[in-house]
Chain A
Amino acid sequence: MKVAITATGNTLESTIDQRFGRCAYFVVYDTESKAMEFIPNPNKDTEEGAGPASVQLIASRNIIKIVSGEFGMKIKPLLDSLKIQMIVLKEPEKKIKDIIEMLNH
Chain B
Amino acid sequence: MSPRRKVIRKVSNPPMIKGFKPYGMEAGKQKLETINLLYEEYEALRLIDYNLLNHYQASVMMGVSRPTFTRIYAAALQKIAKAFVEGRQISIEGGKVYFDSDWYHCKKCGCYFNNPEKEKPVNNCPLCGSQQVYKFDLENTYEDVADKACSDMCICPNCGFEQEHKYGQPCSKQICPHCKSFMKRKGSPNCRNFKNQ
Cβ B116 vs Cβ A99 within 8 A: no
Bitwise, B89-116 to A at CB < 8 A (1) or not (0) is 0000000000101000000011111111
Residues of B within 8 A of A105 (CB): 127-130
Report the minimum CB–CB distance from A89 to chain B (whole Å): 5
Q: A67-B127, A105-B128, A105-B129 are in contact. Are A85 and B99 (CB under 8 A)?
A: no
Contacts of B126-165 to chain A: CB distance below 8 A: 126-130
Interchain pairs with CB closer than 8 A, number: 53
Cβ B126 vs Cβ A65 within 8 A: yes
Interface residues of A: mostly helix, strand, loop or mixed? mixed
Total chain B interface residues with beta-carbon distance under 8 A: 19
Q: A76-B99, A102-B127 are in contact. Are A85 and B115 (CB under 8 A)?
A: yes
Q: A76-B99, A81-B13, A105-B128 are in contact. Are A88 and B116 (CB under 8 A)?
A: no
Residue of A83, A90, A103 near B116 (CB, 8 A) is: A83
Cβ B111 vs Cβ A89 within 8 A: yes
Q: Does A53 contact B (CB under 8 A)?
A: no
Residues of B within 8 A of A102 (CB): 109, 127-128
List residues of chain A with CB under 8 Å of any chain B CB.
65, 67, 76-77, 79-91, 99, 102-103, 105
List residues of chain B with CB under 8 Å of any chain A CB.
12-14, 99, 101, 109-117, 126-130
Additional pairs, 15, CB under 8 Å, beyond known A82-B116, A102-B109 = A81-B13, A81-B14, A83-B116, A83-B117, A85-B116, A87-B111, A87-B126, A87-B127, A88-B111, A89-B109, A89-B110, A89-B111, A90-B110, A105-B129, A105-B130
